């Protein structure tokens, strides 16, 4: 079934005069929570390419990357992505708007947009190199946007796109899973109680896989409620020893990193195509520290060395990344509307409470997502 159909409507750039500024939370430098500033004079986004749409934000979602970006994480790579010819002065990314998830309504379409029209209710994950969703409006390319599931409210929908796009890119593109080949696959999810984990559990379960979830004991009810078959508490220690007593796995999705990388690949079925995929990579840290060229070289060297080392032991080692994709969100919408996946909203904040929302994120121990109502 085609999930993305052209609509019988030719979108065009509006000719009526419209606002040149909007309300937004911006940062003017990298740093702690105090750098967040509310303004009613942020530049109104403009359609620069014919495939772009402007979305009126009704709800926004926060992710750990917003916290990291507030502190300057990834600045070198993201600056290069925004300004490849390096024509802007240093700090040209400011005022920078954070917020990676959006649920809202299409306000305006570029001339070549065929699948959306003004008034459509949509959701999207905003790539980190674009201005974010903690604002009244955001501009995105049409292929990053998807029609929102009808069964979700805007705050619920804003809890999904970034973690869904990351889980999709990892489980489908990097691990090669889909609804036809996942049945009975043994999947270990480390960091199961967070945004990505709570989504990934449901996706694997919807496709018939077997999920072992690693989380704190007080998250057991949450992850079991999402379908996890087996739960292992890491907080009482020796999680690697506990996991070694279980049958080996076909896939490990690790959203915790650090020490887990030392023991987790040993839990995979050897010489059976099994994969360990970690979301915690040094990619952006390397370019921050070494510059773009040397940082990328260092990352290539690191991944090649690790992949080779694990390959010699019969398992595959990969890094997983967020990838913006409207078509992937179209598939997720079908799963949500079919009742196979539900959003996990931990806490909702109003637009005036954005600094409090960041503080909540900063405390860690997420049990799902933090969302902000912008309307």
In this chain, which of 137, 168, 207, 322 binds ligand NDP, going by CB under 6 A? Answer: 322
By CB under 6 A, is residue 279 in contact with ligand NDP? Answer: yes
CB 303 within 8 A of CB 285: no
x/- map, 228-267, ligand NDP, by CB under 6 A: ------x--------------------xx-----------
DSSP lists the bridge partners of residue 372 as: 60, 349
In this chain, which of 84, 119, 339, 364 binds ligand NDP, going by CB under 6 A? Answer: 364
Q: Which stretch binds ligand NDP (CB under 6 A): 62-70, 117-125, 297-305, 351-359?
A: 62-70
What angle is formed at CA 348 by the lines to CA 36 and CA 225, rounded to 5 degrees?
Answer: 135
What angle is formed at CA 316 by the lines to CA 311 and CA 321, rounded to 5 degrees?
Answer: 135
Q: Where are the alpha helices (DSSP H) in the chain?
A: 64-70, 75-82, 154-157, 161-168, 195-206, 220-225, 239-244, 260-263, 283-290, 292-311, 326-337, 354-362
| Beta carbon of residue 102, minimum distance to ligand NDP (angstroms, whole number) | 16
Residue nearest to ligand NDP (CB): 194
In this chain, which of 103, 166, 202, 325 binds ligand NDP, going by CB under 6 A? Answer: 166
Residue closer to ligand NDP (CB basis): 194 or 265: 194
> SS3 of 329, please?
helix
281, 256, 204, 343 alpha-carbon torsion, rounded to 10°:
-100
In this chain, which of 45, 104, 197, 324 binds ligand NDP, going by CB under 6 A? Answer: 197
Q: Which stretch binds ligand NDP (CB under 6 A): 46-54, 91-99, 220-228, 277-285?
A: 277-285
| Beta carbon of residue 42, minimum distance to ligand NDP (angstroms, whole number) | 26
Task: Read off the tokens for 130.
Answer: 């674009």
Residue closer to ligand NDP (CB basis): 22 or 192: 192
Q: Where are the alpha helices (DSSP H) in 34-131?
A: 64-70, 75-82
> SS3 of 110, please?
coil
| Beta carbon of residue 87, minimum distance to ligand NDP (angstroms, whole number) | 27
Distance, CA of 102 to CA of 137 (rounded, Å): 10
Q: Which stretch binds ligand NDP (CB under 6 A): 10-18, 52-60, 89-97, 195-203?
A: 195-203
CB 161 within 8 A of CB 101: yes
By CB under 6 A, is residue 215 in contact with ligand NDP? Answer: yes
Residue closer to ligand NDP (CB basis): 261 or 331: 261
Distance, CA of 275 to CA of 332 (rounded, Å): 23
By CB under 6 A, is residue 196 in contact with ligand NDP? Answer: yes
Terminal-to-terminal C-alpha distance of the chain: 34
Task: Read off the tokens for 46.
Answer: 């403009």
| Beta carbon of residue 315, minimum distance to ligand NDP (angstroms, whole number) | 20
In this chain, which of 61, 99, 142, 191 binds ligand NDP, going by CB under 6 A? Answer: 191
By CB under 6 A, is residue 366 in contact with ligand NDP? Answer: yes
Question: Which residues of this protein are in contact with ligand NDP, per CB under 6 A?
Answer: 63-65, 163, 166, 190-191, 193-197, 214-216, 234, 255-256, 279-281, 320-322, 364-366
């Amino acid at each position: 079934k085609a999930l993305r159909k052209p609509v019988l409507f030719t979108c065009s750039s509006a000719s009526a005069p419209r606002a040149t500024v909007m309300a937004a939370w911006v940062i003017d430098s990298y740093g702690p929570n105090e750098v967040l500033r509310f303004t009613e004079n942020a530049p109104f986004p403009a359609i620069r390419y014919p495939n772009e749409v402007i979305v009126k934000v009704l709800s926004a979602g926060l992710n750990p990357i917003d916290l990291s970006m507030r502190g300057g994480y990834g600045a070198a790579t993201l600056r290069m992505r925004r300004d490849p010819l390096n024509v802007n002065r240093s700090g040209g990314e400011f005022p920078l708007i954070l917020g990676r998830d959006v649920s809202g309504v299409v306000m305006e379409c570029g001339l070549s947009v065929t699948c959306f029209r003004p008034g459509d209710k949509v959701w999207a994950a905003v790539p980190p190199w674009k201005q974010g969703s903690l604002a009244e409006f955001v501009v995105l390319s049409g292929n990053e946007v998807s029609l929102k599931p009808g069964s979700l409210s805007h705050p619920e929908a804003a809890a999904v796109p970034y973690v869904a796009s990351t889980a999709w890119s990892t489980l489908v593109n990097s691990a090669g899973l889909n609804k036809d080949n996942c049945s009975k696959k043994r999947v270990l999810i480390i960091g199961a109680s967070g945004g990505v984990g709570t989504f990934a559990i449901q996706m694997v379960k919807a496709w018939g896989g077997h999920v072992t979830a690693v989380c704190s004991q007080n998250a057991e009810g949450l992850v079991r409620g999402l379908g996890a078959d087996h739960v292992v508490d890491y907080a009482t220690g020796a999680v690697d020893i506990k996991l070694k007593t279980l049958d080996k796995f076909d896939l490990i999705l690790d959203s915790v990193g650090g020490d887990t990388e030392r023991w987790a690949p040993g839990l995979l079925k050897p010489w059976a195509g099994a994969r360990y995929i970690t979301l915690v990579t040094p990619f952006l840290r390397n370019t921050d520290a070494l510059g773009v060229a040397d940082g990328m070289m260092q990352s290539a060297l690191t991944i090649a060395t690790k992949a080779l080392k694990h390959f010699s032991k019969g398992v595959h080692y990969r890094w997983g990344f967020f990838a913006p994709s409207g078509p992937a969100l179209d598939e997720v919408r079908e799963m949500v509307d079919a009742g196979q996946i539900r959003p996990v909203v931990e806490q909702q904040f109003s637009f005036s409470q954005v600094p409090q929302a960041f503080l909540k994120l900063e405390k860690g121990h997420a049990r799902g997502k933090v969302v902000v109502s912008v309307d």
